[in-house]
Structure 1
Amino acid sequence: MNISFSAACKQTQPAMVNFPGGLINLIPRHRRKEKVVVVMGATGTGKSRLSIELASRFDAEVINSDKIQVYKGLDIVTNKVSEEECDGVPHHLLGFVDPTADFWAHDFVHHASAAADDITKRGRTPIIAGGSNSFIKALINDDLHFRSRYDCCLLWVDVAMPQLNSFVSARVDQMVDSGLVAEAHEFFNPAGDYGRGIRRAIGVPELDEYFRSEGRASSAAKAKLLQRGIDQIKSNSQILAARQRQNIRRLLNILRLAEPLEWRMHKLDATEVFRKRGGEAEEAWQRLVAGPSTSFVDQFLCEDKMDFAGPLILAPQALPL
């Protein structure tokens, strides 16, 4: 399904439009907004991959909007993109906040706006990518500074929950194999407080009982506690993915109902990608996600939005008698 709500026009001169009974002079504003691409999606849907591919193609830089990946540390637990995966694309707001600090939506708005301003001043395009929809809403919908400066193209990478649940579960197993447990142990809190900073990350609180069992339980008991914690990580990750999908729908409805002519929104169904393996999965990704996204962004970046300064000026003969 492709949702598109914005009409763009390449005209730069005032237009005289004929209507029955007279002329209407359409006077465009001579202020062009900068362009921003927003890549949305639940955890595990391929947002990072798509944002990097688009950035490589369109001379862009990525601004992270994941509320846990902004923190330093827990690279495996939070599934941060590696330097190799970044493929030379600059990333902003990734792993820069102290692990014990609070980082709220208004903090994100401040830093993301500054990053976007810096990127556009250097002639490049910002791509905002992440699953924290409260951050994205605070920036692109609630912040007047950002809305006055930028037009947005929103790309939603979606995957049906059965396929996404299976992928998320398998990804947790891969993360465990890569050292998730040892990494999470660094943030074990004997006081049991996991409500602040990076300790909120899925993968840390779930292993609390296992970490507490060290030196107190048998090997068999510890193994059971570890498996229970891993299962809870999988369950909570799946719950997060479902909640993120709901929040994306809610956000898109808010944007659509608020000012439908201001947004370009495109949904990319990647479910087939997750049903396939190897070369078939890659072909499906290019056909269903990367290819269409490239076309949407190319059109978005090339178009000149037409704003009209109101009220409309009507020729005298068009006025009602």
Structure 2
Amino acid sequence: MPVFDMKLPMSCVCKQAVQPLVVNFQGSQGLKLEPLFRRKDKVVFVIGATGTGKSRLAIDLATRFSAEIVNSDKIQVFKGLDIVTNKVTEEECQGVPHHLLGIVEPNSSFTATDFRNHASLAVEDIISRDHLPIIAGGSNSYIEALVNGDPDFRVRYDCCFLWVDVALPVIYSFVSERVDRMVQLGLVDEVRQMFDPEADYSIGIRRAIGVPELDQYLRAEGIVDEKTRVKYLEAAIDKIKENTRMLACRQLEKIQKFYNWKWKMHYIDATKVFLKRGGHNADEAWEKLVARPSANIVRQFLRDKDRGATIDSTPASVIAASPVPIAAASR
């Protein structure tokens, strides 16, 4: 009677090297059968509206799980405008490798299909080093293209979706403060350096919120008086804030579609953390309410080695609330 060796090597991201079973019958040639099962490699997604702390959470998780981050922000993929696009700094990265961050020329086109192809290669590369891929960013059309648009991705990977959310009134206040900080850091000068009156704001990095809004101000600043110049600048900054708030709403609507498609996401409410921002215990609140619960979810996800589902995989013992409708999530 033939003896089969069923030992399957495991790694921290549950990488499997599964070979087809070969059954040798007397008087016949070898017969190849499909594997009885195939455990999938693990991938974590961190999604949410702009300003909710996706990058911070992804980095926190990466430092705890020997992971690397794949950027899924459609503007941060371009080179330049680091302030406008709010790219993470080298210090903020804490030594965690980032992929697809600032790799595309500013005037080039980079579609959701381009992202899907590049992200798939990045995930393969990360897993080849026995590291955990964490895909983080606010461009949900990119996430949809990767998960729904690539059948091979659904077959190969078991996914964990972390939705970090903040109540809309709170996030509105936060992004307004963030725009003011970005202006103080040199947002206007950064846009001025690449200003071109003939530029097309529908392609490349010039689509970034903060660039087209400054067009009228930059055209007028050298030919109008100080009072008018200040008026134009204030109007531009207000428009940046308004468009950022609108972006947050659109992103939440897209995430609601994911929920409706039965993407069983783990919901992390960071509202209380943001209400404490600037306070002495803000970091403690982040650790208690966001980072630690998220780490527990990922830890259980990585231990759940027998799962085969890519989207409908929600371990029963995780520490997280169930996904909620957008009206409740954004309160």
Q: TM-score, with normalisation over the residues of structure 1? A: 0.83
Letter in 2 for 1:269: D
- Please say if residues 152 and 264 of structure 1, whose CA atoms lie closer than 8 Å, have aligned partners that are also in contact: no
Q: Does 1:183 align with 2:190?
A: yes
Partner of 1:174: 181
| Cα distance in 1, alignment partners of residues 221 and 265 from structure 2 | 50
Deviation at 1:193, TM superposition (A): 2.4
Name the counterpart of 1:293. Answer: 294
- 1:39 equivalent to 2:46? Answer yes
Alignment partners' CA distance in 1, 2:155 and 2:271: 35
Q: CA deviation at 1:28?
A: 8.5
Report the AA paired with residue 78 of structure 2: Y
Query: Matched residues in 2 for 1:273 and 1:29: separation?
Result: 46
Higher RCO structure, 1 or 2 (CA under 8 Å, sep 6+): 1
Gaps of 5+ in 2: 1-33, 310-331
3-state DSSP class of the match of 1:142? coil
Counterpart of 1:315? none
Q: Please give the alpha-carbon distance, in whole angstroms, between the structure 2 residues aligned to 1:238 and 1:164.
A: 8
Match among 253, 273, 284 for residue 246 of structure 1: 253
Question: Is 1:67 the equivalent of 2:74?
Answer: yes
Counterpart check, 1:214 vs 2:233: no
Alpha-carbon RMSD: 1.5
Q: For residues 283 and 29 of structure 1, what CA distance do their matches in structure 2 show?
A: 46
The alignment status of 1:139 with 2:146, answered yes or no, reads yes
Query: 1:197 aligned to 198, 204, 217, which one?
Result: 204
Q: Contact 1:78/1:201 (CA < 8 Å) preserved in 2?
A: yes
Structure 2 counterpart of 1:8:
none
Range with bigger deviation, 97-106 or 213-222: 213-222
Secondary structure, aligned partner of 2:280? helix
The equivalent residue for 2:280 is: 279
Amino acid in structure 1 at the alignment position of 2:176: S
Q: Distance in 1 between matches of 2:189 and 2:232?
A: 15
Pick from 94, 98, 103: which aligns with 1:96? Answer: 103
2:200 partner amino acid: D
1:306 is displaced (CA, Å) by: 4.1
Tell me by how many angstroms 1:144 deviates.
1.0
CA shift, 1:219, in A, is 1.2
Superposed CA deviations along residues 297-317 of structure 1, whole A, max 9, x for unmatched, are 000011113459xxxxxxxxx
Kindly state the Cα deviation for residue 103 of structure 1 after the two structures are TM-superposed: 0.5
**Runs of 5+ consecutive residues of structure 1 not aligned to the other structure:** 1-26, 257-262, 309-321
Whichever residue aligns with residue 283 of structure 2, its letter is: E
* Cα distance between partner residues in 2 of 1:152 and 1:119: 15
Q: 1:126 to 1:306 in 2, by over 3 A?
A: closer
Q: Contact 1:29 / 1:307 at 8 angstroms: preserved in 2?
A: no
Compute the displacement of 1:241 (Å).
0.8
What amino acid maps onto 1:266 in structure 2? H
In 2 relative to 1, CA 307–183 (structure 1 residues): closer, same or farther, beyond 3 Å? closer
Paired-residue identity, %: 60
The answer to whether the 8 A contact 1:28-1:307 is kept is no
